Structure 1
């Protein structure tokens, strides 16, 4: 559809030439007039310029475009940018560490490697770490009502902005100098059913002779949605890889005699009951689950209680004001506040009964029991509630000097983010007491109990469930404060024009504090099946930088920038020097050839440095035991002897150094004819010394090599080396007892270890056509294509290409485009988004690309009132088909399960 629309755009000028001739003649009459464009500052440079395009490609999305393309939030719009090819955790990752935050992953380099600015200033990080490790900015805290435009520079820009500007910079520019009043109300809901969305916005402003005031208020309310509201993901029978009648469910209720084994014959039921009667008594989605290894009582509806869209009720306010103190001096201040209450929910809780000796059965037992919505008090009874607040304040003075030759700006700013989340969880001891009763001693090295079979094999009441539960409270906050002075202007005239420059002095401080509930910290074992991490620290940073725009000839310009950053913290960063250089050549008035090279750096995330000790359980492969027994890794396979659960401990590393990278772009901007422009740029981003945790698998493979003195291929390994000592110290094994020699604990943490790169092409096409008789037409198309991605685990290792690896779920390409038509009081926009292909879940091939279309139809009834009908995902697409995707939610998390949404919007202006 997009391609055909663009083809139509190129032919319309011919078809409408007669109708538009009058307008064309008028345009020709005015071609001799010259319009003086105001110089503005755009992301990627502090030098103000009249030209929109510069040496580095910049993408701009205006607030009008966000609304026309059907987006309700800033994140929804940014997540459609073609450069966001990387995989992220989102609301479908309810078991993740940050299910209530929204992030971008430019170029697949990770959310923390995108610098997010608000009006050119750093925003406070989200105080909870992404994936339990790194920091980022939560984009959901930026209210759409206050946004004027969003600028994206996809590439390194540390020479301008310092740390974190590795994959790119997102600058969210808020409204200023607004005049009049604007009130908007939007409401709508998914056509497949689910909670509605309501969005009320009020934007206003006034200006006087020497002052201006702009303000905005927004109330946004979106209800929660659960998997039970989507019939394609509410049950394990939705697994597309198997016949629904043969689907494998989670084992809903099970008790096993481990002296018999782990197969179906080991199952034990309540006196007088068996598998069939027990499943029948529970009813609902509990049914017999027939497997090759035997039949079980399976719970097919276990996924139904998971949220697929978090609830979110927030209110935000924004105010910006200026006061002209004199002709050359202006004071300004802005305040942006946001308050949110949201909820998220994973599937209902379960209890894996640990190995114990049962005095009634006279054997070693274990079990598993799922708790249903009726037992816990309803679908939404197990929600995690997030109370979050964000504030961003800035104030300063700006002016000019030396007969307006130089502009200066001094700004102080402070931003803060607080989150308090309450999560219901089991109390470990109360859970044991309720089902197993008091401990009756020790038998054969195992704790002895007498299972209460009536409680275990029958549903319990919500009151009984609540008596075994508690609320786990996590409190966290972060802040960023900056003082910045910028001086810019023209130094002197060169033969080809003025030498422009900008200089910046900057001082800032950053801190965070993460207070996890003390009951989930390592070694406590008070909360069942939940561990956490705390941490906190601060850093100070100082910087000085400068930029120059050098007109070499009338058609050729060079830009140079350099910056020195000094860090005062406990890491090994100390300082960093970065620079960039850009070239612009305009051989013709309508053609720009450009290129830029920049170096970049990223100071380690705060939580990589200051994270307290945290614990987790995971399944590990005991490679040493496997190979020491004379087996190969392949022979060990999934055998439970060498694959079992072990405890892991992670802690921050204060000895980290900065990540260092470089970015290169080269391309062109071609204004083919009036109002028709085309851009294409090649890019490459590289990053070395990437901070990341060593995986448990890597540690255990090298532990086996170091202990045995040879690797898997038989090559000699020096077990006394410093590397081997580090690896051996990371693994703790049990000494003595029934588990002698088993892995008890794996210690791991972040180090500077890997190399990563991404290279590809960005292209865009835009065409605007104005006619008298048929209205105005606008066409936009953007495309990004990844040519290669490379990765090396450690320095010195081969840099392997993984773009086409069937375990890589980054998109190789993305495309977005829109077609808009304005005719008298009617305006129509069709927006389209194309996701490139991804591997199938079986890693045997690729699934088809995916397309989503939005429609926005607006009509201006009067000068003061207009209305819109907005249909997002017009074709009601869910996800491309993948018959091998056997893991919940049965499709990749980049695709939305919401389906079509229909909204109506009323707008008032006066």
Structure 2
């Protein structure tokens, strides 16, 4: 059948405008236009784009797509793929990174799309799912590490906001990001870059090289990238070098040598003189208002890293072999090695009596007191010598065959994908028995008996050697009770996939109908195995969680593209996913229906409605037992004392707010998180090489996973025990089994398994503008802008809880990592002959200040919103000869620090939200790119 062209004139101007304008490039995916296909000419009239399995010629479809080209990565000053995606306007949510050294994954990089969970984005590499990072975000969520992508190998990045599960399966709730790597080069190329920071730290060196060549029917591209980045220490930035100097309370030094009860005791006859050489001579006598004196330093926050010491090596190959006109064999291999080093510094490197003794009795003071002892840089041998280190080895292998089926319009693509990610977290620990023995021998001395306080609690009696307490310890002694332990984790995924497509199935009034069928199957696994000593509790002040599991899966997808009229096209897809786990099957069908309407040449109206889902992660299903402590009213004991649930606030202590242990573990019976999504919008091209896009997105998400609320468990337990519910019912039997009480009827433990219980709704608006034009002898000008606005974001943690308006609650805005309500960026690019220059700006909207978060109010004294944050990047490039391009880039051109937030107290060591802002400041990069034989 001859490919139809009816209706093509209706969007000719629109397509020309989008392709020509900078930043509105076609969203190529699995097969970009750089592919060296040997198919007949008729097969090249359409290409596969992200957001559809069916090859097509339209630039804009019913699925809104943003594309970041390889040229834009350089022009706009993006230092990596992660940096480019994090700066995009749709990345409005808060996300942890290298500044969060006390988090679970400071060596990884990710983003939050529109303030939704970081695991709600489906990441693809060349159209294949990216492997999961083995460690868990926030200790509970599976996600992808964007730091493993070689920037110089990227051809372009496609971003599709909105639910996409009917084509891409699980995880594609917030959207899909497809990172398309290069398939062909016109010449061998070497790229060298060096960067440094105005404020110090973070010096960066990167080199890459790549080449592609043909040997008969064999075509190959191979490239590698190496990068080394020095750490950035908190002492390198004035805002983080010391405790907060401009807070709501006076700047307060660290409590490195502290004896405390309801007040502080200064028991050093030398009044800190023996330790005054610590922290580079900044340790000294300090005091805290209303408490008392101690020894400390204002400069201890500076000994933590806020940017990792990083070394990466990445390699990529793409190869094809044209067997004949209808068979092309292909393969992709991507490998990444990363080593990250970081430290949280003195903040988490200390010893105290509170953990083991819960206070001891000093007969000379006639008081129950605690010791707290921080370890100084001089004692540890420099914090650089005890940094934590993560080593990640990840690879992705794709082998396949594709081509046409005879002389028909049918195409096929059969492939096998294997991804593997292995991680070693080598962290520094204090060993429980050695550290307790050391301070028992050198400070506390033998126990002199037991003292029972007024509340009936027992305490050991000690007569400590306070002179030794207020003295430095040798580095050899510190090393005797500290050391390293490894946590090893891995994730893997196998997928066999077959796709059959026909872009010209039959003629319809608006052109040729297209169809695609996909079937895939495979398995995946996850294993997180801490050092046995961590599981046994041998690490002082630290716990660990293990887990492991695997499952098989299969899916089938059908997609239709129907040009109903010259101006109207319908797109529809239906998918079925099934996962076999723990001898049961979890399945979910998803669908999508979209329409494209072109009433005249310059305008496209589009709408899409469908469903999306996220299958429970392997961690949600198989994570081992974790423990913690919580408080909640003991409704049963309060009721026995005459205080019903509605009057529990008047219940006598301790039952009004009782402390107990909570135990959480994975749940293989979890069901998928589900979502209903829709979008509508337009693309308008009023003149040639100009386009304006505006799209409205909606999400309604249900069955979100979180641990069961202990308050709700205790409410239901009381109803069962008091006879309001049938105590013999399965519900009561399950609830009573979750609550453990001692012989006196007091709560000791509550099991809080992960359950499908939460929901949220979100609406967002995304607007884009692109315009490129020739300015005569002045050269070429390109304008590009994008704006995102989260219009609504509500969360309901439990069906019986009130719905929380995240946009209007400063506490929950930060609790749920909602981030910025608005975010916008724009760029201006000029080019002429051998010169090119770009100015890029990014505006981050307002967020709650610390006091607003603390009081959950914007009207409380000192509460409010922070001013928007504006960051500018600039770049200029020059090609003195065709084969050589020299570039100079400046990131954060005006050295802007986070907005001032003077509502933080003087005890804060990071007076800004590090998940929203950074203090890296201005950075400079010089780069040279040389193409051989040009």
Same fold (TM over 0.5): yes
In 2, Cα distance between equivalents of 1:832 and 1:376: 43
> Residue in 2 aligned with 1:472?
485
Shift of 1:656: 0.5
> Residue in 2 aligned with 1:530?
542
* 8 Å CA contact retained: 1:70, 1:871: yes
5 Å matches for 1:301-700? 301-348=299-346, 349-354=349-354, 355=358, 357=360, 361=364, 364-437=368-441, 440=447, 443-444=450-451, 445-447=458-460, 451-489=464-502, 490-521=504-535, 524-570=536-582, 574-616=586-628, 618=629, 620=631, 647-694=661-708, 698-700=709-711
5 Å matches for 1:63-142? 63-142=70-149
Unpaired segments of 5 or more residues in structure 1?
A: 1-9, 11-34
> Residue in 2 aligned with 1:752?
756
Indicate the SS of the match to 1:374. helix
Residues 508-556 of structure 1, C-alpha deviations (whole Å, 9 max, x = no match): 21101110112222xx331101111111111111111110000111110
Distance 1:584 1:195, change over 3 A: closer
> Residue in 1 aligned with 2:714?
703
* 8 Å CA contact retained: 1:287, 1:300: no
Shift of 1:419: 0.5
Aligned mate of 2:214, from 207, 225, 235: 207
> Residue in 2 aligned with 1:233?
240
In 1, Cα distance between equivalents of 2:287 and 2:417: 60
Shift of 1:302: 3.0
* 8 Å CA contact retained: 1:571, 1:655: no
* 8 Å CA contact retained: 1:42, 1:48: yes
Indicate the SS of the match to 2:246. coil
Shift of 1:634: 7.6
In 1, Cα distance between equivalents of 2:508 and 2:711: 64
Residues 332-379 of structure 1, C-alpha deviations (whole Å, 9 max, x = no match): 111111111111211220112133546875864422111111111113
Residues 378-421 of structure 1, C-alpha deviations (whole Å, 9 max, x = no match): 13123111111010111110010241411110010101001101
In 1, Cα distance between equivalents of 2:59 and 2:532: 53
Distance 1:374 1:281, change over 3 A: closer
Shift of 1:292: 2.6
> Residue in 1 aligned with 2:27?
none
Q: Which moved more, 1:325-334 or 1:887-896?
A: 887-896
In 2, Cα distance between equivalents of 1:772 and 1:181: 34
Indicate the SS of the match to 2:785. strand
Distance 1:654 1:36, change over 3 A: closer
Residues 99-132 of structure 1, C-alpha deviations (whole Å, 9 max, x = no match): 1111121122211111111111112100111111
> Residue in 1 aligned with 2:923?
901
Distance 1:652 1:285, change over 3 A: same
* 8 Å CA contact retained: 1:178, 1:213: no
* 8 Å CA contact retained: 1:856, 1:869: yes
Aligned mate of 1:820, from 829, 849, 857: 829
In 1, Cα distance between equivalents of 2:802 and 2:259: 49
Shift of 1:296: 3.9
1:811 maps to 2:811: no
Distance 1:357 1:842, change over 3 A: closer
Residues 752-784 of structure 1, C-alpha deviations (whole Å, 9 max, x = no match): 011112101111000001234110000000001
Distance 1:297 1:359, change over 3 A: closer
* 8 Å CA contact retained: 1:153, 1:170: yes
Indicate the SS of the match to 2:438. helix
Indicate the SS of the match to 1:574. strand
Question: Looking at both structures, which has the greater relative contact order when contacts are Cα pairs under 8 Å and sequence separation is at least 6?
Answer: 2
* 8 Å CA contact retained: 2:835, 2:878: yes
> Residue in 2 aligned with 1:879?
898
Shift of 1:813: 0.8
Q: Which moved more, 1:277-286 or 1:877-886?
A: 277-286
In 1, Cα distance between equivalents of 2:575 and 2:711: 42
Distance 1:687 1:143, change over 3 A: same
> Residue in 2 aligned with 1:892?
913
> Residue in 1 aligned with 2:13?
none
Indicate the SS of the match to 1:652. coil
> Residue in 2 aligned with 1:794?
798
Indicate the SS of the match to 1:678. strand
Shift of 1:883: 1.1
Distance 1:38 1:771, change over 3 A: farther
Residues 55-108 of structure 1, C-alpha deviations (whole Å, 9 max, x = no match): 010111111111111112110001011111111121222111111111121122
In 2, Cα distance between equivalents of 1:874 and 1:54: 37
In 2, Cα distance between equivalents of 1:745 and 1:310: 39
Shift of 1:902: 0.7
Indicate the SS of the match to 1:585. strand
* 8 Å CA contact retained: 2:638, 2:656: no
1:855 maps to 2:874: yes
Q: Which moved more, 1:702-711 or 1:579-588?
A: 702-711
Aligned mate of 1:765, from 758, 762, 769: 769
1:839 maps to 2:848: yes
> Residue in 2 aligned with 1:178?
185
In 2, Cα distance between equivalents of 1:148 and 1:656: 39
Give the paired residue count.
851
Distance 1:235 1:591, change over 3 A: same
Indicate the SS of the match to 2:850. coil
* 8 Å CA contact retained: 1:62, 1:149: yes
In 1, Cα distance between equivalents of 2:584 and 2:767: 39
Residues 581-604 of structure 1, C-alpha deviations (whole Å, 9 max, x = no match): 000000111110000011111100
* 8 Å CA contact retained: 1:755, 1:799: no
In 2, Cα distance between equivalents of 1:619 and 1:678: 51
Shift of 1:193: 1.1
In 1, Cα distance between equivalents of 2:325 and 2:49: 25
* 8 Å CA contact retained: 1:706, 1:718: no
* 8 Å CA contact retained: 1:254, 1:297: yes
Distance 1:892 1:723, change over 3 A: farther
In 2, Cα distance between equivalents of 1:441 and 1:573: 61
Distance 1:190 1:640, change over 3 A: farther
Indicate the SS of the match to 2:184. coil
1:776 maps to 2:780: yes
Residues 285-327 of structure 1, C-alpha deviations (whole Å, 9 max, x = no match): 4441231344444443332221100111011111111110011
* 8 Å CA contact retained: 1:706, 1:719: no
